[in-house]
Chain A
Amino acid sequence: MKDHEYWWDRSGASDPEIAKLERLLSPLGYRPSRRRMEAVGYLQAGLALAAVLVLFWLAEPHRSGPPDTGWSVNVLAGTPRIGAQALTGTGTLLPGQWLMTDDSSAAEIVVSDRGHVRLEPGSRLYLVTTDTLGRRVRLTEGMVHVAVWGPSGGFVVETPAASAADLEGEYTLTVDARGHGLLCVESGWVSLERNGRTALVPSGAQCEMRPGRGPGTPYLAGASTDYLELLRAFDFDSAQTAPVNELIDLASPCNAFSLVYLVDRVEPMQRGRIFDRVTALYPPWSGITRAGIVALETSMVATWQDQFECFESEVCRASCLPDVL
């Protein structure tokens, strides 16, 4: 039995019978309310208003309670700086201060008791607030790795292109010198938002973002170069005619996932083509119909996207990451 542990913990080679049962039965399983996740987009906008209200509340003379305290920072490598102050060992990052690393230094921020944020070399991060109503930092350049647990949307990373709010999980966020961002989600969900444009990025997926445009369309890390170039043109290049048909033609197990997220941004005829192409690769969960997707029935579209909630296609994994298998 030890040689065939797939039935126990999915280790080892896949057991075809069990895998078949999983495929058949998983649509009957628990599905978290996606509307709750979508509400995070509104939550982010609401947090701004809440922050204003909190400022008024703080100004009340009778208010008592802990002030907006800082977070502990540990040096991981080299000599990071908090403002102009070089950091050795440990320090405290206060709201309104910058934490900066050069090419040979790195630091870890302990987010109260909710997790940690690792600042990689060559990064600049500004602490906006540690208030429990909405912990918020701003990454202007470099890379952070975030592993924070707690209420959905309770930790926000602002970038020049979009704001990332976690729905409990772990992710990496990178910003280059142009302000272009890349989000890679390792577990859980992360919501990206800017100027009313939102993207919900699940575990195993990535999403690019551009200043002035906001987040693009999530995709799997193994998507092909051709597909990514077309997707970028669709997401960010307003001068080009949207290459939707070409995107659909390039659909494969590695990129079908992102097509599902395009349905509410394309014409009805293209929605039908997307449905046909994706469902040829992955049969839809029960209750999801072509007519409903073409008509953009909200709950049906959300359910279809939930089908790819935590995605790991065996074929895609094998063909896209041969070096690590």
Chain B
Amino acid sequence: MWSRVVRTAYTGREQHTSNSVVTSAKRFDRPVDWSRSGLHLRRVPPRDHVHSPPLSRWVEESQAGRRESFDALTRHYAAMVHGILLSHAPRAEAEDLLQDVFIKAWQNLGGLREVEAFGPWLATLARNRATDFHRRKRSEVSIDALDPADPSAGRHAEAVRVLELIRTLPETYRETLVLRLVEGLTGPEIALCTGLTHGSVRVNLHRGLQLLREKLGVVK
């Protein structure tokens, strides 16, 4: 029996329960409206925390050689780096390139003078790595081939097609769209990670979505 104040996992709000969590669930056991559209999974961005991750301190500790602090930075920025790479290179290559970017970051971290600039600096490393990839003229063919009989193959092909359309957009729009639609970062998170101003991200995202809709033939 949980005769305590129970914090719900969803909202963080507190609810007083006089019984167990079963009672708590019973309060919400209502018929589901199956006719609702928008039934989907959504990557939820990190919630606001009272204690935000100490990014600057992790950078300083990484510069001092602490691998676990660099591991924490890697986890925090992996989606951003992957998104930037994905906006320039095939998905099959993005994983390998991701590793290359973080290895390079670790090796060159000592040269970073402003710890607050780590995110934009890392974004630049990712773009440079993607450019280097194209210079070496690796195969552009994705190796994510699926069995045509697999019912999910059609969805994957459609996703790749839309990603290819995004890649035809101007670079500033391309990256922002991939970070928003593929990696699930919100506009404010994109600004925070990349060092762009909110205004710049807003413009890139808005115009990028407009262009993408035109290419998809969607009338808004």
**Whole-angstrom distance between the alpha carbons of A262 and B8 in the complex?**
24
Does residue B220 face the partner (Cβ distance < 8 Å to A)?
yes
Shortest B62–chain A CB gap in Å is 12
In the complex, are the beta carbons of A311 and B32 less than 8 A apart? no
Q: A29 near B: Cβ within 8 Å?
A: yes
Number of chain B residues whose Cβ lies closer than 8 Å to a Cβ of chain A: 82
Inside 8 A of B57's CB, which chain A residues have their CB?
A: 113
Are B155 and A283 in contact (CB-based, < 8 A)? yes
Residue of A at shortest CB range from B36? A315
* Cβ of B182 to closest chain A Cβ, rounded Å: 5
Classify chain A's interface size. 35 or more
Specify which chain B residues have a CB less than 8 angstroms from the CB of A32 in the assembled complex: 75, 78
Distance, CA A224 to CA B28, complexed state (A): 8
Give chain B nearest CB distance to A236 CB in angstroms: 14
Residue of A30, A120, A228, A308 with highest tally of chain B CB at under 10 A: A30
Q: For the complex, is B186 an interface residue (Cβ under 8 Å from A)?
A: yes
Q: B42-78: which residues lie under 8 A (CB-CB) from chain A?
A: 42-47, 49-51, 53-54, 57, 68, 71-72, 75, 78
Residues of B within 8 Å of A315, CB to CB, are: 32-33, 36, 38-39
**Does A24 contact B155, Cβ atoms closer than 8 Å?**
yes
A204 vs B72: C-alpha distance in the bound complex, in angstroms?
21
Q: In the complex, A24→B29 CA distance in Å?
A: 30
Binds A, one of B19-27, B100-108, B113-121: B19-27
Would you call A187 an interface residue if the criterion is a C-beta within 8 Å of the partner chain's C-beta atoms? yes
CA distance A26 to B2 in the complex (A): 37
Question: Which residues between 75 and 126 of chain B lie within 8 Å of chain A, taking CB atoms?
Answer: 75, 78-79, 82-83, 86, 91, 98
Complex contacts, B218 vs chain A, CB 8 Å: 17
Check A25–B182 contact: CB distance below 8 A.
Answer: yes
A-B contact count (CB 8 A): 235
Q: Which residues of A contact B163 (CB under 8 A)?
A: 25, 28
Q: Is B146 an interface residue (CB 8 A)?
A: yes
Q: Does B25 contact A286, Cβ atoms closer than 8 Å?
A: no
Give the contacts of A260-287 with B (CB-CB under 8 A).
281-287
Instruction: Flag if B38 contacts A8 (CB, 8 Å).
Output: no
User: In the complex, A7→B13 CA distance in Å?
Assistant: 26
Within 8 Å CB of A28, what residues of B?
Answer: 86, 91, 159-160, 163, 182
Contact A206 B21 (CB under 8 A): yes
Q: Which of A22, A253, A287 contacts B146 (CB 8 A)?
A: A287
Q: A116: which B residues are within 8 A, CB to CB?
A: 51
| Given A19-B40, A30-B82, A203-B44, also A322-B152 (CB < 8 A) | no
In the bound complex, CA of A202 to CA of B60 (Å): 29
B136 sits at the interface (CB 8 A): no
Asked whether A151 lies within 8 Å of B71 as measured between CB atoms, the reply is yes
A selection of 28 A-B contacts at a CB cut-off of 8 Å is: A7-B205, A16-B37, A21-B162, A26-B43, A29-B79, A29-B86, A29-B182, A30-B83, A30-B98, A120-B5, A142-B4, A149-B72, A150-B72, A176-B2, A221-B28, A225-B22, A229-B22, A252-B32, A253-B39, A286-B144, A287-B144, A315-B38, A319-B28, A319-B32, A320-B29, A320-B30, A324-B8, A324-B10
Interface contacts beyond A7-B205, A26-B181, A172-B6: sample of 12 additional A-B pairs, CB < 8 Å, sorted by A: A7-B180, A8-B186, A10-B45, A19-B40, A19-B42, A21-B181, A113-B57, A143-B4, A187-B46, A203-B44, A221-B8, A286-B155
| B residues apposed to A, CB below 8 Å | 1-2, 4-13, 21-22, 24-33, 36-47, 49-51, 53-54, 57, 68, 71-72, 75, 78-79, 82-83, 86, 91, 98, 144, 146-147, 150, 152-153, 155-156, 158-160, 162-163, 180-184, 186-188, 202, 205-206, 209, 212-213, 218, 220
Closest 5 CB pairs of A and B: A286-B156, A30-B82, A151-B68, A320-B28, A9-B186
Chain A residues packing against B (C-beta within 8 Å): 1, 7-10, 14, 16-19, 21-30, 32, 113, 115-116, 120-122, 142-143, 145, 147, 149-152, 154, 168, 170, 172, 174, 176, 182, 184-187, 203-206, 208, 220-226, 228-229, 252-254, 281-289, 307-324
